[in-house]
């Protein structure tokens, strides 16, 4: 009976020892270290992203100021090592690492950024902007130049919601004088009749009014004149 107890205790101790051994071994992975350098300047690449991928299981690391990275406790397997910085990337395939192994995986990564073909497109304001509320119309210099008009007042006559009577404009039923004029951001208290050749854009608000023109009871006309920036 005593012999049986001794054997049972020995079996339990052996079982616990083996369990601890295999449990420890399953977490004892390998280590991968390396440095990332620029092949042209030979300078280390800091803050590069290093991704270790083994069948979809990924671990990510960053290089330090000297371009070094260190990945410890990596499960045994075959990895794809991806190193990227900005838009550049290099890949090391079929990198095999075993438990308790320490291997080096250096990489060269060009940090220069190449710029592709630049496509130039001239921006043009549409007469009917789908993003603008109703009652707002913008005329550019080219539009005004091709119109059969002789002065600024004739531009407002063609705007929707505007009625002209004896030189006075009435916007959507507002009284005379309720149409405010702004030239280059400043409100005009007197006449807003400037030469057409000096006009760059003409914007008329006969419906929606932005809050910055909130003191207007009728509509607003915002004009921008030609300047150094519009000519170059």
pTM: 0.43
Q: How far apart are CA 214 and CA 205, in angstroms?
A: 12
Q: What is the CATH number of domain 136-231?
A: 2.170.130.10
pLDDT of the residue at 61? 94
Domain residues of the chain, as ranges? 2-108, 136-231
Q: Among 10, 46, 31, 110, which residue's Cα sits nearest to residue 76? A: 31
Q: Are 224 and 180 in contact (CB under 8 A)?
A: no
pLDDT of the residue at 63? 94
Q: What is the pLDDT along the chain (232 residues), one digit of tens a residue?
A: 555 555 545 555 444 444 434 444 444 578 999 999 999 989 999 999 999 999 888 999 999 999 999 998 888 889 999 999 988 899 999 998 887 788 899 999 888 876 667 777 666 656 555 656 666 788 888 888 888 888 888 888 888 778 888 777 888 777 777 888 888 888 888 778 888 888 888 888 887 777 777 777 788 888 888 877 666 5
How far from each other are the two terminal CA atoms of the chain, in whole angstroms? 106
* Strand positions, DSSP E, the chain: 30-37, 49-54, 57-62, 68-74, 77-85, 88-97, 102-104, 107-108, 136-140, 162-165, 168-171, 179-183, 186-188, 199-205, 219-225
* pLDDT (tens digit per residue) in 48-100: 999 999 988 899 999 999 999 999 888 888 999 999 998 889 999 999 888 77
Q: Among 63, 69, 8, 72, which residue's Cα sits nearest to residue 34? A: 69
* DSSP letter string, 73-127: EEPSEEEEEEEEETTEEEEEEEEEE-TT-EEE--EE--------PPPP------S
The secondary structure of residue 69, as a DSSP letter, is E
- The DSSP element (H or E) to which 156 belongs, if any, is helix 153-157
Backbone angles phi, psi at 144, to 5 degrees: -70, -35
pLDDT of the residue at 116? 67
- The DSSP element (H or E) to which 16 belongs, if any, is helix 2-27
Distances (CA, A) of 134 to 126, 128, 157, 209: 14, 9, 17, 10
Q: How far apart are CA 81 and CA 96, in angstroms?
A: 10
The domain defined by 2-108 folds into Immunoglobulin-like (2.60.40)
- The DSSP element (H or E) to which 10 belongs, if any, is helix 2-27
pLDDT of the residue at 145? 84
pLDDT of the residue at 90? 92
What burial class does residue 73 get, using C-beta atoms within 10 Å of its C-beta: 0-12 exposed, 13-18 middle, 19+ buried? exposed
Strands across the sheet containing 136-140: 136-140, 199-205, 219-225, 179-183, 186-188
């Amino acid at each position: 009976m005593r012999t049986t107890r001794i054997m049972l205790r020995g079996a339990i101790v052996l079982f616990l020892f083996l369990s601890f051994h295999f449990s420890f071994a399953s977490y004892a992975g390998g280590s991968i270290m390396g440095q990332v350098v620029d092949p042209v300047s030979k300078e280390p690449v800091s803050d590069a992203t290093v991704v270790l991928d083994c069948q979809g299981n990924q671990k990510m690391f960053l290089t330090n100021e000297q371009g070094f990275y260190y990945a410890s406790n990596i499960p045994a397997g075959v990895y794809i090592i991806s190193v990227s910085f900005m838009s550049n990337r290099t890949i090391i395939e079929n990198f095999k690492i075993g438990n308790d192994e320490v291997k080096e995986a250096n990489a060269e990564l060009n940090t220069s950024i190449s710029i592709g073909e630049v496509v130039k497109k001239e921006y043009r304001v549409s007469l009917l902007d789908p993003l603008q509320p109703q009652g707002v119309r913008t005329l550019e210099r080219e539009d005004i130049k091709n119109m059969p008009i002789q002065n600024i007042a004739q531009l407002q006559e063609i705007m929707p919601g505007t009625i002209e009577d004896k030189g006075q404009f009435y916007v959507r039923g507002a009284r005379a004088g309720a149409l405010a004029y702004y030239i280059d951001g400043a409100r005009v208290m007197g006449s807003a009749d400037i030469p057409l050749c000096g006009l760059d854009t003409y914007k008329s608000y006969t419906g929606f009014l932005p809050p910055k023109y909130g003191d207007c009871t009728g509509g607003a006309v915002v004009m921008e004149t030609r300047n150094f920036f519009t000519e170059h």
